């Protein structure tokens, strides 16, 4: 539960920078919208309506607490993002709320046995978890392309790896396949993000050195060009007029 809370709280560190700069930059809100859907789903999964009694009380409490920071991050993004991104994120949030409400209504009124309700919500939870752990792939693509980890927060990647690994162990020990299954994918994806962070964190320093060298070279080229121009001008002034040459 502690690592899950830290994972959900990690984006607050990132968005403190966003608030300070009053710009979302290249940050994507998709992972946070999917994380909200995941929190809503597993909060419902742990409730007595779906599970038998409070057998999954821990699942419900930690994901219920995770809803708060995810909502804060999404609201911050909506306030600071440009209009086209605001519209896109708003549509995603509406879609998530509609899907969650539909799932909750179906599991409450259409299904009358706990095992059927648990299976339905668990399947949705698997899908949202895979999407949540897979959504950073978009960020990983940006990292590889830009060779910069600026828009892939370290703490979010770290706690995603630790949390998914622990929930996978919890699901295996409690013999709950619906809890263990999505984390089988989430754990290696979190590890891949950490590996990527280590690789491009080092390369970022090298790139800065190369940029400095390129800057020096460009300054040198400008100086050379200016010298050439001045030499040409001096040569022109040294030449006699055409009339004098003809004489």
Query: Domain extents for the chain?
Result: 2-205, 207-235
Chain centroid to Cα 12, Å, comes to 12
Q: Cα–Cα distance between 209 and 52 in angstroms, integer?
A: 60
Helix axes 177-238, 154-173, angle to 10 degrees: 160
Per-residue confidence band for 73, with pLDDT thresholds at 50, 70 and 90? very high
Per-residue confidence band for 237, with pLDDT thresholds at 50, 70 and 90? very low
Q: Cα–Cα distance between 221 and 26 in angstroms, integer?
A: 33
Task: Output the pTM of the full model.
Answer: 0.72
Please name the residue that has the structure tokens 């089988």. Answer: 184
Nearest of 52, 48, 71 to residue 61 by alpha carbon: 48
Helix (H, G, I), strand (E, B) or coil at 194: helix
Q: What is the pLDDT of residues 1-10, one digit of tens each?
A: 677 777 888 7
Model pLDDT, residue 223: 37
63, 182 Cβ separation under 8 angstroms: no
Q: What is the pLDDT of residues 191-229, one digit of tens each?
A: 888 888 888 886 554 444 434 433 444 444 443 344 444
Model pLDDT, residue 48: 93
52, 114 Cβ separation under 8 angstroms: yes
98-107, 108-117, 150-159, 183-192: which has the minimum mean pLDDT?
150-159
Q: Cα–Cα distance between 213 and 179 in angstroms, integer?
A: 52
State yes or no: pLDDT of 103 exceeds 50: yes
């Amino acid at each position: 539960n502690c690592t899950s809370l830290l994972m959900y709280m990690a984006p607050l560190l990132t968005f403190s920078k966003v608030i300070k700069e009053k710009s979302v930059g290249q940050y994507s809100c998709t992972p946070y919208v999917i994380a909200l859907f995941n929190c809503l789903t597993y909060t419902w999964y742990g409730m007595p309506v779906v599970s038998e009694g409070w057998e999954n009380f821990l699942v419900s409490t930690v994901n219920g607490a995770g809803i708060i920071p995810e909502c804060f991050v999404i609201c911050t993004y909506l306030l600071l993002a440009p209009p086209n991104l605001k519209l896109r994120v708003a549509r995603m949030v509406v879609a998530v709320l509609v899907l969650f409400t539909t799932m909750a209504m179906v599991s409450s009124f259409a299904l009358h046995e706990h095992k059927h309700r648990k299976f339905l919500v668990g399947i949705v939870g698997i899908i949202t978890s895979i999407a949540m752990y897979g959504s950073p792939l978009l960020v990983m693509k940006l990292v590889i392309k830009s060779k910069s980890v600026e828009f892939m927060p370290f703490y979010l990647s770290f706690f995603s790896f630790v949390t998914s690994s622990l929930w996978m162990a919890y699901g295996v020990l409690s013999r709950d396949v619906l809890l263990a299954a999505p984390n089988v994918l989430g754990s290696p994806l979190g590890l891949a993000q950490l590996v990527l962070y280590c690789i491009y964190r080092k390369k970022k320093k090298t790139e800065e050195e190369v940029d400095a060298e390129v800057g020096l070279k460009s300054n040198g080229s400008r100086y050379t060009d200016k010298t050439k121009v001045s030499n040409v001008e001096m040569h022109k002034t040294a030449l006699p007029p055409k009339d004098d040459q003809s004489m």
